[in-house]
């Protein structure tokens, strides 16, 4: 095998604090937005949009100065949203390469992809660069890209690639870097002042300085800066190791108590989660909604559809129904979505079999029924691990992993439970302590046949101790015949009808 040539793709996201806040607020992306940081009233501008810069807004201006300019939208910087956006960026990068390094730059996000040897997967340099740009654009971020065989050359050139991806020719990086201003290098404030006093304006002028004289005046830092200006400084890449997570967070500027406003914000957030899951050929198996409340505390709800979904409309409908049934106790200060990925559902249709209903319709239908009858009352019953009669829990419907081939016997008699059981007054046959008659629905029934008693007891070690006996009886009242189950609570001494035989 031949030697693999290095290839670094640098993705530079300018005005990162502003883009992180507007990524899930597309309605404000075209407005003159200013991002402020610091504690009131000592707040300063840290990031702006293009329209704000056209109104002469610059970083470092105070809040009082920007408030004098009409038409601006002022937002507070959100470190949490920037962290979520950074995580989303690393998730996109993991699709292309496991070797990604984040370069710390002020007011921007710079990620370098090591794409060496990826031609068979993503094509040539131009094809892979277009794919990366398209993936970053799907996150709602505006970026500049540069490609070079030298790590530092790509980092320096990316912020100035305003007309599209910039590809630096191998061994000729200095030709392109020479046109860039000297501030393209990571200079300290003292170094920037020194070069300004020397009259050094471009990287070509810096690269032309004698190396020995530069080292004499600036030390080894002078040699490093000169080599970087010539595109020759080597780099030991330290890849970022980030776990794949699906999270989005939006922080509100004021408390919000309208459900419509929450769903309006949640829509773009779900779009981002679905897009990132699709990049890994996955869907959303569950979505946890966390609402920080005004005054402290959180309101947490979890949506678990029957099958993993990648449908924004269905997830929004489920979220709407769930929050209507379980509204937060106070106004909310933000919205945090955390999704668990799952494998995308596959449907194998038969040649002559009719199309079955979509599982997503079942989720919405169950959520609508649950909103009417109450939580925990819709699903599939499952017997509890106890001998207590009629003890069961409700579980959500789930699609079976494979169809069952077990044949079930056909029952000729059905037992219909009564919930809640109906109390009775029962007369007993004194010697045998068997039910002789009882009163039910203003009628007096005579027991013609009685089978039992079937005695049961349990949980004697707790306060929920129980002991009872059951009788299967056939009772008559004139021409009316009643087949039922009578239960006698031995501890509390009362009778009730538990079920009817149909």
Same domain, 225 and 260: no
pLDDT of residue 332: 92
The pTM of the full predicted model, rounded to 2 decimals, is 0.66
Kindly tell me if the per-residue pLDDT of 476 is higher than 90.
yes
Distances 213 to 193, 206, 358 between C-alpha atoms, Å? 18, 12, 75
CB contact at 8 A, 207 and 226:
yes
Same domain, 174 and 303: no
Kindly tell me if the per-residue pLDDT of 397 is higher than 80.
no
Question: Cis omega before residue 453 (within 30°)?
Answer: yes
Last residue of a domain, one of 343, 366, 396: 343
Q: At 434, phi and psi to the nearest 5?
A: -105, 150
Q: Give per-residue pLDDT as tens, 90-108.
A: 888 888 998 999 987 878 9
Task: Check residues 404 and 225 and name the one with the higher pLDDT.
Answer: 225
Q: pLDDT grade, residue 399 (50/70/90)?
A: low
pLDDT of residue 180: 94
pLDDT of residue 231: 92
Tokens at 18, concatenated: 């502003």
Q: pLDDT grade, residue 395 (50/70/90)?
A: confident
Q: At 426, phi and psi to the nearest 5?
A: -120, 135
Q: Give per-residue pLDDT as tens, 437-468.
A: 999 888 899 999 999 888 888 888 888 888 98
Same domain, 224 and 270: no
Tell me the mean pLDDT in the region 170-177: 90
pLDDT of residue 1: 45
- 223 vs 250: CA distance, rounded Å: 45
> For position 161, which CATH number holds?
3.30.70.270
Tell me the mean pLDDT in the region 379-404: 70
Q: Give per-residue pLDDT as tens, 39-85.
A: 888 899 999 999 999 999 999 999 999 999 999 999 999 888 898 89
Kindly tell me if the per-residue pLDDT of 243 is higher than 80.
no
Same domain, 145 and 45: yes
In 441-478, which positions are buried (b, 16+ CB within 10 angstroms) versus exposed (e)?
eeeebebeebeebeeeebeeeeeeebebbbbbbebeee
Residue 266 forms part of a structural domain:
yes
Last residue of a domain, one of 291, 324, 343: 343
What is the percentage of the chain residues whose pLDDT exceeds 90? 47
Task: Check residues 388 and 239 and name the one with the higher pLDDT.
Answer: 239
Kindly tell me if the per-residue pLDDT of 342 is higher than 90.
no
- 12 vs 154: CA distance, rounded Å: 10
Residue 16 per-residue DSSP state: H
Which distant-in-sequence residues (6+ apart) come within 8 Å of 429 by Cβ? Answer: 435, 436
Tell me the mean pLDDT in the region 152-169: 93
Q: pLDDT grade, residue 37 (50/70/90)?
A: very high
Kindly tell me if the per-residue pLDDT of 400 is higher than 60.
no
Same domain, 165 and 257: no
Q: Give per-residue pLDDT as tens, 252-292.
A: 888 998 999 899 989 999 998 998 888 888 899 899 999 99
Same domain, 160 and 285: no
Long-range contacts formed by 362-370: CB under 8 A, 24+ apart: 362/306, 362/397, 363/305, 363/306, 363/309, 363/314, 363/318, 364/314, 364/317, 364/318, 364/321, 366/396, 366/397, 367/317, 367/318, 367/321, 367/322, 368/321, 370/321, 370/325
Tell me the mean pLDDT in the region 318-337: 90
Same domain, 339 and 483: no
Residue 177 forms part of a structural domain:
yes
Same domain, 265 and 224: no
Residue 376 forms part of a structural domain:
no
Residue 419 forms part of a structural domain:
yes
> For position 296, which CATH number holds?
3.30.1490.100
Same domain, 330 and 421: no
Q: Give per-residue pLDDT as tens, 414-442.
A: 888 888 888 888 999 877 788 999 998 88
pLDDT of residue 270: 92
Residue 427 forms part of a structural domain:
yes
Residue 392 forms part of a structural domain:
no
Residues in the chain, overall count: 502
What is the percentage of the chain residues whose pLDDT exceeds 70? 92
Task: Check residues 465 and 370 and name the one with the higher pLDDT.
Answer: 465
The mean pLDDT value of the chain amounts to 87
Report the number of distinct structural domains present in the chain.
3
Same domain, 266 and 221: no
- 199 vs 321: CA distance, rounded Å: 66
Q: At 104, phi and psi to the nearest 5?
A: -75, 115
- Find residue 363's DSSP bridge partners: none
In the block, tokens 């006698």 appear at: 488
Tell me the mean pLDDT in the region 392-405: 62
Q: Give per-residue pLDDT as tens, 185-217.
A: 999 999 999 999 999 999 999 999 999 999 999
Last residue of a domain, one of 291, 308, 343: 343
- 101 vs 152: CA distance, rounded Å: 12
What domain range includes position 269? 252-343
Residue 181 per-residue DSSP state: B
Residue 97 forms part of a structural domain:
yes
Tell me the mean pLDDT in the region 355-371: 71
Instruction: Please give the torsion angle defined by the CA atoms of residues 164, 170, 174 and 175, in that order, rounded to the nearest 10 degrees.
Output: -60
Which distant-in-sequence residues (6+ apart) come within 8 Å of 196 by Cβ? Answer: none
3-state secondary structure of 93: helix
* 3-class DSSP string for 104-138: EECCEEEEEEECCCCHHHHCCHHHHHHHHHHHHHH
Same domain, 208 and 258: no
Tell me the mean pLDDT in the region 316-324: 90
Same domain, 101 and 217: yes
Distances 182 to 157, 169, 449 between C-alpha atoms, Å? 11, 20, 103
Residue 368 forms part of a structural domain:
no
CA 354 to chain centre: 35
């Amino acid at each position: 095998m031949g030697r693999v040539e290095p290839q670094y793709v640098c993705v530079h996201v300018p005005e990162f604090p502003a883009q992180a806040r507007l990524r899930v607020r597309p309605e404000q992306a075209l407005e003159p937005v200013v991002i402020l940081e610091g504690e009131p009233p000592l707040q300063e501008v840290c990031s702006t949009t293009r329209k704000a810069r056209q109104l002469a807004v610059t970083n470092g201006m105070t809040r009082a100065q920007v408030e004098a300019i009409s038409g601006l939208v002022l937002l507070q910087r959100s470190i949490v949203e920037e962290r979520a956006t950074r995580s989303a960026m690393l998730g996109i990068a993991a699709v292309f390469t496991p070797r990604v390094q984040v370069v710390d730059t002020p007011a921007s996000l710079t990620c370098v992809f090591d794409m060496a040897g990826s031609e068979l997967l993503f094509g040539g340099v131009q094809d892979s660069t277009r794919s990366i740009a398209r993936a970053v654009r799907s996150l709602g971020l505006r970026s500049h890209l540069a490609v070079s065989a030298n790590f530092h050359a790509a980092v320096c050139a990316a912020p100035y690639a305003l007309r599209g991806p910039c590809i630096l020719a191998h061994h000729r990086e200095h030709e392109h870097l020479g046109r860039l201003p000297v501030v393209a290098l990571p200079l300290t404030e003292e170094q920037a002042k020194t070069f300004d006093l020397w009259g050094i304006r471009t990287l070509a002028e810096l690269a032309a300085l004698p190396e020995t004289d530069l080292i004499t005046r600036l030390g080894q830092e002078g040699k490093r800066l000169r080599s970087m200006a010539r595109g020759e400084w080597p780099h030991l890449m330290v890849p970022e190791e980030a776990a794949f997570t699906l999270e989005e967070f939006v922080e509100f500027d004021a408390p919000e108590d309208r459900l419509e406003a929450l769903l309006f914000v949640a829509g773009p957030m779900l779009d981002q989660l679905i897009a990132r899951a699709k990049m890994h050929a996955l869907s959303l198996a569950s979505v946890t909604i966390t609402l920080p409340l005004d005054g402290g505390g959180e309101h947490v709800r979890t949506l678990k559809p029957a099958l993993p979904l990648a449908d924004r409309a269905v997830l929004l409908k489920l979220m709407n129904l769930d929050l209507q049934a379980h509204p937060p106790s106070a106004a909310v200060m933000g919205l945090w979505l955390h999704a668990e990925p799952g494998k995308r559902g596959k449907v194998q249709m038969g040649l002559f079999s009719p199309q079955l209903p979509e599982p997503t319709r079942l989720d919405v239908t169950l959520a609508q029924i649950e909103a009417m009858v109450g939580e925990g009352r819709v699903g599939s019953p499952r017997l509890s691990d106890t001998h207590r009669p009629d003890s069961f829990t409700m579980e959500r419907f789930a699609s079976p992993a494979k169809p069952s081939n077990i044949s079930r016997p056909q029952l000729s008699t059905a037992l219909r439970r009564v919930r809640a059981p109906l109390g009775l007054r029962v007369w007993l046959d004194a010697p045998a302590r068997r039910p002789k008659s009882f009163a039910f629905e203003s009628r007096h029934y005579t027991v013609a046949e009685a089978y039992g008693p079937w005695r049961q007891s349990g949980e004697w070690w707790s306060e929920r101790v129980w002991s009872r006996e059951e009788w299967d009886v056939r009772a008559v009242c004139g021409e009316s015949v009643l087949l039922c189950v009578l239960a006698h609570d031995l501890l509390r001494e009362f009778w009730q009808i538990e079920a009817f035989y149909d």
